[in-house]
Amino acid sequence: MGAALMPVGCSAGADGEGQDVDNTDVFGMSYEEFKATVYQEPDTGLWIVDGDTPVADERGLRDFYYKHIQQGALSIYTSGGVDVKWSAAQQVNITYCISDTFGANKSAMVTAMNNATAAWEAAANVNFVHLTQYDSSCTASQSNVVFDVRPVSGQSYLARAFFPNSSRSQRNILVDSSSFGNLGQWTLAGILRHELGHTLGFRHEHTRPEAGTCFEDNNYRPLTEYDSKSVMHYPQCNGTNSGDLVLTAKDITGVQAIYGAPGGQPPPPPPPAQCAHDKCISGSALTSGCDACVTQICAADPYCCSTSWDSQCVQEVNSICGLSCGAQPAPCAHSVCTTGVKLAANCSSCATTVCAKDPYCCNTKWDGTCVNEAKSWCGAGACN
């Protein structure tokens, strides 16, 4: 997944609502132990890692394990730190076919895809084109379309999709037969709106630390503030989208930031930078402009935005901005880079980051996994 992004999808439980298939903690697992937790699609042989991310073969699975699992990262959805998206020419001509093998469900599938593609087309300068002449030969090897839409059955998901830099053989939306049953508050069109978000390059919103659960990895670039109602957010991962999966105002802002507004208009100005941590907690340098008070402090004390937001910067919240941070948290009982007793989540910005994603570290014990997470999630300088 370092060079090619793998497909992703929506999975479902018995109640019809999506849920991650496998949230197993894989830190410290041997390869064989890890492999035993991974679902393999019986018809394609693809291994499904991280709940809904296919890997082509066991060699790829082993590479995935050694490159990512041993280092605590379950998946990578960027390529060299560059946004994965369609080219300007391709974004307005994303062609697809819908397999005739849907049979009696074909009409419902066509209608749902029309509704789902229309939602994204109304939000941004993208255009999905159904080339019906290839429906009778709609397979993963159909080279006359960008992607294919095909039925599957007995899978662990409702549907799965892909990212823009996937190879043609993996650029498919596979829809399980269970998606045509009772989905509760969801519709087939809603599921496809979510999957099409992946085809445009968008991550699950619940991988962001604000969700507090269902963390996947840090390999994303936020386009807006966290959105618990996003079409890309699983409701069972502390999402607040109580109805069908639909695009929110923030989803629209985000997709326009990448592809521009409908009709080829340029993207709107990017939103202000978000502060890396609370200004009342010492930690990494903050970005001037992420907060009005931070801007004032960095103008008077550039060290706070160029090197480190230390205790002096925290004191300047009061002396420069006239604001109160209240009672300051006690310092960490020990370094985040050493094992020991549990740490207070607010004793440092790094502890805050780790404990938001792995509460065990602040509820029970700061063990070796917590140390590895600090090194991985808090930046290269966290343990220097």
Bridge-based pairing of strands 172-176 and 147-152 is parallel
- pLDDT value of position 199: 93
- pLDDT value of position 345: 79
- Pairs from 259-264 (Cβ < 8 Å, separation ≥ 24): 259/85, 259/86, 259/91, 259/124, 259/125, 259/126, 259/200, 260/124, 260/125, 261/124, 261/125, 262/121, 262/122, 262/123, 262/124, 262/125, 263/125, 264/125
Domains and CATH numbers, the chain: 9-69 (no CATH), 90-259 (3.40.390.10)
Total number of residues shown for the chain = 384
Tens digit of each residue's pLDDT, the chain (384 residues) = 222 223 345 554 323 333 333 333 333 455 676 677 777 878 788 877 655 567 777 766 766 655 444 433 222 244 455 778 899 999 999 999 999 999 999 999 999 999 999 999 999 999 999 999 999 999 999 999 999 999 999 988 899 999 898 899 999 999 999 999 888 889 999 999 999 999 998 888 877 777 788 777 666 777 777 888 889 888 888 888 888 999 989 889 888 888 889 988 766 565 566 787 888 888 778 888 888 899 899 889 988 888 888 888 988 988 988 888 876 667 788 888 899 998 887 788 788 888 878 878 888 888 888 888 888 777 656 675
**Contact, 84 vs 164, CB < 8 A?**
yes
d(CA 56, CA 72): 21
- pLDDT value of position 378: 79
- pLDDT value of position 143: 97
Threshold 0.85, pTM exceeds: no
**289 torsion bin: left (phi>0), alpha (psi -120 to 50), beta (else):** left
d(CA 350, CA 354): 6
**Contact, 203 vs 127, CB < 8 A?**
no
- pLDDT value of position 113: 97
Rounded to 10 degrees, the C-alpha dihedral 152/248/265/112 comes to 30
Pick from 313, 353, 350, 352: nearest CA to 335: 350
